[in-house]
Homo-oligomer: A and B are copies of this chain.
Amino acid sequence: MMKQVLIGILCGAAVLTAGILIGHYGIAKGNGSAPSWVNEVAKDVDESLIERFLSEVDNIQIQENLRELTKVPHLATTAGDEQTVQLMLKRWQDPETGLDQAWREEYMVYLSFPDPKKPNKVTVGDSSDTVLYTAREKEKSYTSDQDDPEVVQPYAAFSPAGQPKGKLVYANQGKPSDYQKLNETVDLRGTIAITRYGGAGRAAKAINAAPYGVIGVLVYTDPSDINDGLMSDSNETYPHSWYMPPSGVERGSFSTNYGDMLTPYLAAKEETYRIPVENITGIPPIPIQPIGFEDAYKLICELGGTVALVSWQGAFNCTYNVGGPGFKPTSAFNNSDVKLDIFNHEELKNSSNVMGVIRGSVEPDRYVIYGNHRDSWVHGAIDPSSGTSVMLELTRVLGMMVKQGKWRPRRSIIFGSWGAEEFGLIGSAEYTEQYFTKLSERTVAYINVDIAVFANATLRASGMPSLQNVIFKAAKQVYAPGLDSTSVYDNWIRYANRTSSTHGTIPKVGYLSGAGSDYAAFVHYLGITSMDISYTYDKSKTNARIYPAYHTAYDTFDYASKFIDPGFVSHQAIARTAGNVLIRLADSLVLPLNCSDYAETLEDYLNTAVTLYQPKLQANGISMEPLKNAVASFRSAATRLDQVIHSPDLIITANNHLIVTRHISFVQLPIIVLSFFISRHVIWASSSAGQPTFPGLADAYASAESSGHSSAWAKVHYHLSVLSQAIEGAAHTLVDVI
């Protein structure tokens, strides 16, 4: 006789399956004649296999993976990139340690490059066009890595070409408020603005500038933002430490949106329709170029005009003036212009994803996807090869267990090595566009490990609240690097924690609201339950906005092995933690996803929204009751589902043989409900309002509060309806039968 029937939950997963069902044939009380497939189908996670996996994960293998991946620069679609494609294919097709299948998928995508024959230039010239100063065209060499001819000149991808020339001004971080403030005292028409990284997106620094008549923009990383103020390469910066050398330049994609720009919502195949280039939005309307702080120092410290606000001052040993516009009368640059000679060009190029799969045994058409991008700006040791090294070690260990016949996951595992992430998450976005339906229906979860290790202090995890529990479980089973008697979990909780109404003090798991890595298309477009983890630094010990070699020519094996993770033990901890989560998601009979934890987040969001918004919403005749009711519906559906799952009488409470998998979809509306490109998820999305609550509501409210227009309040009401009905819709999918 059947003893119990289990209910699998896909809490938080995307538009997914209504009903997989498995009869768990109880052998204890049975007559001993259970058919063998019943036992196979009812198999749960094997803890001894997880132990074996943890012990197999090898830090030296990861180190050697990294060494191989970073031999040459591998900018997307270059020969170096192709070398990494071949490496991935070779590893994943290895007969001893490979996957069941591996292949490449190509997309023809729109990229932007500088011209190696006509390098971009930034110069200071006087009225007779005599060049008084020329910024560095490439970063200074400290190891042979920087001498590689394939090191791409620092540039702003998707900046238009052009030769703007004008008086320099200092515009802080290039936020809308920065230009607004600056414009109060300086006529910005015809000027070149120098800005710091941080505070606004890369493209935004130029997009925000153009309406004021600014004709060109420079951007640099201030030592106060990356180097804890240190500047000297004689003893303070790399190769003496992890800090950015004076000539280091952060490259990047200067685009607000993601995915191939010419084929929104469609896979960028050769014959795919492409929008006219002039219809592209979210890229700089005026030339912009990044420079090192060594050059920025020369320019900023010579600026005239009034003294910039205290909050605009940086680490240079001079006063940051806003510009006359232009340089101060006492400067050798007095009356001179700054000129940008930008020769970037756009090109359609073939970019490859490398895909690999381990077929599932019982639910082969359910996918757990694990991915990272493969392309880098230069050698990309940390970004992204730390993550790729970890992925290769995971696939080696899992592949070996499969090839040896010791294991096969319950569900299929898909590995993705995405191309052209640095140009706007392109490979992963095209993948989600091409396989939209199938992935929406079949994907259980997506795990992203991009930069695996920022530093050696602690775990950092972000993801849907429903994954919190399985991340904790995995983190408890892995020792923290360098702390053999402390788990990753116990170490983590010291660095980042919060108080949960259900669980008490627990590590703080972040939200995937932004579009910082390849999880974006999975979360914001498909609505799939996703997570992103890494090892990171102790924020009390540095103010660096990111590891200092980020997107520079110094992000090399030498840098990684000396200053980021000597011994590669943090890499090993991430491989163990991520792999543990991966196996649990692939093998658990009942998916380890927790709907009640999702409900807790919704309640937190709701409380914030009620506190911040209810008075003015009421004053504008907009009721929050539908939202409160929706969150309450979700909570009660989650609670009931928990009871059903944990009921020993499941066979009695549910229909006999009831076999269902539940999921939640928060992307129920077929329309793009938020103002951001490709943003369909009403809970997780970028928000400019910066409040820990429903992003679309927060932005609509901020806009209405600022304009006071009745049409803006109508939009708040509209968003409240969309949000409430999406949450009610998610709750419905947790409720029994009807």
A23-37 CB contacts (< 8 Å) to partner B: 23, 25, 30-31, 33-37
**Contact status B37-A738, CB under 8 Å:** no
Chain B residue nearest to A39 (CB atoms) is: B657
Q: Does A644 contact B (CB under 8 A)?
A: no
**Contact status B15-A18, CB under 8 Å:** no
Interface-side segment among A231-239, A362-370, A373-381: A362-370
With the chains together, A669 CA to B655 CA distance in Å? 35
Taking CB atoms, residues of chain B closer than 8 Å to A359 are 655, 737-738
A1-30 CB contacts (< 8 Å) to partner B: 1-2, 15-23, 25, 30
CB of A98, distance to nearest CB on chain B (Å)? 15
Q: Does A412 contact B (CB under 8 A)?
A: yes
Taking CB atoms, residues of chain B closer than 8 Å to A33 are 31, 33
**Contact status B737-A365, CB under 8 Å:** yes
Q: A717 touches which one: B21, B273, B364, B436 (CB < 8 A)?
A: B273
Chain A 686-728, CB-CB to B under 8 Å as 1, else 0, gives 0000000000000000000000000000100110111001001
Q: Does A577 contact B (CB under 8 A)?
A: no
11 new A-B contacts, CB < 8 A, other than A17-B20, A21-B363, are: A20-B21, A23-B35, A34-B35, A37-B657, A359-B737, A361-B655, A364-B658, A365-B737, A412-B738, A437-B733, A667-B670
27 contacts between A and B (CB under 8 A): A16-B17, A16-B18, A16-B441, A20-B21, A21-B22, A23-B38, A34-B35, A40-B656, A41-B657, A101-B738, A271-B625, A273-B717, A276-B714, A357-B737, A359-B655, A360-B655, A360-B737, A362-B657, A412-B737, A436-B670, A437-B665, A437-B729, A437-B732, A437-B733, A438-B729, A441-B663, A671-B672
With the chains together, A2 CA to B36 CA distance in Å? 8
Q: A361 touches which one: B360, B365, B657 (CB < 8 A)?
A: B657
Q: Does A440 contact B (CB under 8 A)?
A: yes
Taking CB atoms, residues of chain B closer than 8 Å to A269 are 626
Q: A435 touches which one: B101, B440, B663, B732 (CB < 8 A)?
A: B732
Q: Does A217 contact B (CB under 8 A)?
A: no
Taking CB atoms, residues of chain B closer than 8 Å to A321 are none
- Residues of A near any B CB (own CB < 8 A): 1-2, 15-23, 25, 30-31, 33-38, 40-41, 101, 263, 265-267, 269, 271-273, 276, 357, 359-366, 412, 414, 433-438, 440-442, 525, 623, 625-626, 655-661, 663, 665, 667-672, 680, 714, 717-718, 720-722, 725, 728-730, 732-733, 736-738
Using A19-B17, A714-B273 as known contacts, say yes or no to A668 and B737 having CB atoms under 8 A apart: no
Chain B residue nearest to A443 (CB atoms) is: B18
Interface centre among A35, A366, A442, A667 (most CB of B within 10 A): A35
Taking CB atoms, residues of chain B closer than 8 Å to A414 are 738
Chain B residue nearest to A658 (CB atoms) is: B364
Using A272-B721, A412-B738, A737-B359 as known contacts, say yes or no to A732 and B438 having CB atoms under 8 A apart: yes
**Contact status B23-A442, CB under 8 Å:** no
Interface centre among A433, A659, A667, A672 (most CB of B within 10 A): A659
Using A265-B671, A725-B267 as known contacts, say yes or no to A441 and B31 having CB atoms under 8 A apart: no
Q: A23 touches which one: B16, B37, B722 (CB < 8 A)?
A: B37
CB of A411, distance to nearest CB on chain B (Å)? 10
CB of A731, distance to nearest CB on chain B (Å)? 10
With the chains together, A38 CA to B732 CA distance in Å? 29
**Contact status B412-A730, CB under 8 Å:** no
Q: A15 touches which one: B38, B437, B661 (CB < 8 A)?
A: B437
With the chains together, A730 CA to B436 CA distance in Å? 10
Taking CB atoms, residues of chain B closer than 8 Å to A663 are 441
**Contact status A18-B720, CB under 8 Å:** no
With the chains together, A21 CA to B434 CA distance in Å? 26
With the chains together, A15 CA to B655 CA distance in Å? 25
Taking CB atoms, residues of chain B closer than 8 Å to A525 are 670
With the chains together, A717 CA to B672 CA distance in Å? 23
Taking CB atoms, residues of chain B closer than 8 Å to A721 are 263, 266, 271-273
With the chains together, A658 CA to B408 CA distance in Å? 14
CB of A74, distance to nearest CB on chain B (Å)? 26
Taking CB atoms, residues of chain B closer than 8 Å to A680 are 670
CB of A712, distance to nearest CB on chain B (Å)? 13
Taking CB atoms, residues of chain B closer than 8 Å to A661 are 19
Using A266-B722, A657-B40 as known contacts, say yes or no to A365 and B18 having CB atoms under 8 A apart: yes
Q: A670 touches which one: B17, B672, B736 (CB < 8 A)?
A: B672
**Contact status A18-B441, CB under 8 Å:** yes
